[in-house]
Amino acid sequence: MARPVFIIDGSRTPFLKARSGPGPFTPVDLAVQCGRPLLARQPFSPDSFDQVILGCVNVIADEMNPARVAALRLGMGEDMVAFTVQINCGSGMQSIDTAYRYIREGHADMILAGGTEALSHAPLVWPNSGVRWFAGLATAKGVAAKLAASFKLRPRDLKPIIGLERGLTDPVTDLNMGQTAEVVGHLFGITRAQSDAYAAESHRRLAHAQGAGFLKDEVETAFARDGKFFDHDDGVRPDSTAETLAKLKPVFERPWGQVTAGNSSQITDGASWVILASDAAVAKHKLTPKAAIVDSNWAALDPSIMGLGPVMSATPLLQRNGLTLKDVETWELNEAFATQVLGCLAAWNDDKFCREILGLDGAAGEIDRDKLNVDGGAISLGHPVGTSGNRIVLHLVNAMKRLGTRRGVATECIGGGLGGAMLIEAV
């Protein structure tokens, strides 16, 4: 029989907007910054976990298998099994899902699951012509051969490729993520004005949450080596309005596109952890669960419309559990792009789409905007790719507790044409 799985606690770093050059923290630095205070407040020792699972997409060369490096730096012991998972934007949720299934099936009792990403540390990559030139130089024998090889260098061989730009471009369709959002927006008639209004509201909600102290128990202050500290998500722009955002030019499809820098998620660094435990671990350590994971679901679709991943993953999740959209009181739908979020809402409310694609009897219905991303999302917070799926689960749990709601869903689109969704219940 499947065992219940509980979310005990969690924390994250502030999400720090990438600006000029690498930020103050590497992926493992970020994981350690929020992991230390999280583990320090637990009634058990850090080596009590069965394993550590960490999502990370842009792993840097100095931190191969960042889960293991983080576990060692967190003092979890040399015997701690730790591994890294990568499913693009879903990596942080995949870590929770993998932990959930290990515990549910009785293979573990307590797992630390997280996500981390330092997009500001994404590398510049040499073009293949430059790599071939360097290889020829390195393998040339003798001074004359090396001199001859050196003269083959051309300026284009040294022109770097922005690794992040290529990483955010689908290798099959050759569309970048912003272009896929444009496709979704076109399919469902999402206007520029609607996208800008949604983005402005995201900033307003995050600014309100910060001012009201809603994130106080979720965000841990991060301390850099130079003594600087970071205690809040710094990408929020409280003065954003639909009118000011309307002045920005389209980024991906000029001049008529809907997607701009202002209504897209921000390039950001950040990390997040949650502690998952079985009922046996809860009893052993006298823990107080915050919520329980009821079910999870993953789906795949055409990469060119990857933004509809939440619709494709959350719909069967709800059907399997005998629920409708209205039965869910709190939603976290990762804001990759305002146009994409609005496209998902439109798809659920489209009779033809729901009949022909989802196999429903008619439109699934509307999601009340007061129940969706109640404290803002990635447009105002940022979207550290390997972290976001973890953050939305963590924040969903905290928001449900604050609002007194019983049932919530965290869901996201995933680059490459995937979607993930997780059903959470209060305990």
Within its chain, how far is the Cα of 335 from the centroid? 10
Phi and psi based region of residue 65 (left: phi greater than 0; alpha: psi -120 to 50; beta: remaining): left
- Could you give the angle at the alpha carbon of 368 between the alpha carbons of 362 and 371, nearest 5°? 130
**Is 89 a known active-site residue?**
yes
User: Residues 34, 56, 344, 413: which is the catalytic one?
Assistant: 413
User: Residues 34, 56, 89, 344: which is the catalytic one?
Assistant: 89
**Is 56 a known active-site residue?**
no
**Is 383 a known active-site residue?**
yes
Please, are residues 332 and 392 in contact by the beta-carbon 8 Å criterion? yes
Q: Which amino acid is at 306?
A: M
Strand partners, 298: 420
User: Residues 34, 56, 203, 383: which is the catalytic one?
Assistant: 383
Which residues are tagged catalytic?
89, 383, 413
